[in-house]
Structure 1
Amino acid sequence: MSNIAFTRIQRECKEVVTNTEITETGIMIEILNDTLTEIKGTIKGPPETPYEGGTFDLEIKIPETYPFTPPKVKFITKIWHPNISSQTGVICLDILKDQWAASLTLRTVLLSIQALMQTPEPSDPQDGVVAKQYMDKFQLFKSTAEFWTSKFAKSPKPENSEYRDKVEKLRDLGIREEEAINVLSCNDWDLSRATTYIFS
């Protein structure tokens, strides 16, 4: 990594760690190696969203050509959101692609991702299945996102017992829990459709 990139990342990490305003929004970072190329980001789910109470970890990889190239950021914690892949955690956000500018920082990136969690853009989705559910069956989307938040992001809210039972039924058939949750979520929690999908 170039000196420019190294100095810049050092400064940005310090900015996130020491800024109380950022800490209050529930954003944190942890440097994972000496070269500052691998960083773990943490975002608290925004209030009054299905992600409230959850803690979401992100993988941040800093390229050699930073800050002229955007960091590669994806969710490690599974999340049900139209602009984030439920399978890979890849995020559809313009500033991580063609709208990146060298003036942007890690702080801006993490705050923008948190804002995206608050205000999804289903018309420009990363995950078509989630976006369709968001637009066609919003209540179902919301309860699914809440279930994923309590399951994967450790939200203190109690899990939806009806969804829990359906997951257990698939587990009894030998399906891994994560796969059961995925398939049920993609099939609008219709157990027979999910079962047909798995075994067809």
Structure 2
Amino acid sequence: MVDFGRVKKELQECNKDFDVSGIKVGPKGDTNLSHLLGTITGPVGTPYEGGTFKIDITLPDGYPFEPPKMRFATKVWHPNISSQSGAICLDILKDQWSPALTLKTTLLSVQALLSAPEPDDSQDAVVAQQYLKDYQTFIGTTHYWTNAFARTNAFARTYCVEEKGQKLVEMGFSEALVRSALESVGGDENLALEKLCSN
């Protein structure tokens, strides 16, 4: 059975210094403390900088004697994280887990993994190949994914609108109409095209 007393203490610990650590955790649904949603910020000086990444956390019945199950809910381009499922290849989430570890120390380790990929022990072979064979393309792809999926500020929305809007502008719609249509449908290119065609 999950030690919910410990989990409550861990949640307080996780959330008290978000400005410094970039880490916070809370219940995913109403108040179910065995299904949590964690947040980490992309480390400074990496292509993940400026991104805010959501991590789905499920605590097994044996927690803290069994590791939490974690996966990225935000799409991320990294050799040790599946670009499809968000599965994370990290030893402390498997055989190197210790009950002395906490949700915060585990999320700090996941955050550190973003800074120091291990392409030889990859979760995503395609990303690992790109990292090893064409590092500049890897950096470019990582920046793009971080901007497209992990940024919630106005800069990111503008960046995505400009990227997607270019195609629609090339179809003959004015830039102002394209921007307005994309923003009104949350950046969905197909819905924006339908909206533009129906006006």
TM-score (norm 2): 0.76
Match of 1:15 in 2: 13
Give aligned pairs, total: 166
Q: CA offsets per residue over residues 144-187 of structure 1, 9 Å max, x none?
A: 0000000011164674999x47x959xx9xxxx99xxxxxxxxx
**Contact residue 37 and residue 54 of structure 2 kept, 8 A:** yes
Residue 115 of structure 1, aligned match among 97, 112, 115? 112
Structure 2 counterpart of 1:120, which letter?
P
Aligned in 2, Cα 1:119/1:89: closer, same or farther, shift over 3 Å? same
Question: Which protein is bigger by CA-based radius of gyration?
Answer: 2
1:70 maps to which residue? 67
Residue of structure 2 in register with 1:188 after alignment:
none
Query: 2-side partners of 1:13 and 1:151: how far apart?
Result: 29
Q: 1:27 aligns with which of 16, 23, 29?
A: 23
- Consecutive unaligned residues of structure 2, counting only runs of 5 or more, are 172-186, 189-199
> How large is the Cα RMSD of the aligned pairs?
2.5
2:92 corresponding residue in structure 1: 95
Pair 1:69–1:12, CA change in 2 (3 A): same
**Contact 2:148/2:160 (CA < 8 Å) preserved in 1?**
no
Distance 1:168 1:74, change over 3 A: farther
- Point out where structure 1 has 5 or more consecutive residues left out of the alignment: 179-200
CA distance in 1, matches of 2:86, 2:167: 24
How far is the alpha carbon of 1:112 from its aligned partner?
0.1
Q: Measure, in 2, the Cα distance between the counterparts of 1:159 and 1:138.
A: 23
State the 1:34 CA deviation: 2.8
Q: CA deviation at 1:35?
A: 3.7
The 3 A distance-change label for structure 1 pair 8 and 129 is: same
CA distance in 2, matches of 1:90, 1:168: 33
Kindly indicate whether residue 133 of structure 2 is the aligned counterpart of residue 136 of structure 1.
yes
TM-score, normalised to structure 1's length? 0.75
> In structure 2, the residue corresponding to 1:123 is in which secondary structure?
helix
Q: 1:50 aligns with which of 47, 50, 69?
A: 47
Cα distance in 1 for partners of 2:19, 2:51 equals 15
Look up the match of 1:59: 56
- AA aligned to 2:15 is V
Structure 1 residue 80 corresponds to structure 2 residue 77: yes
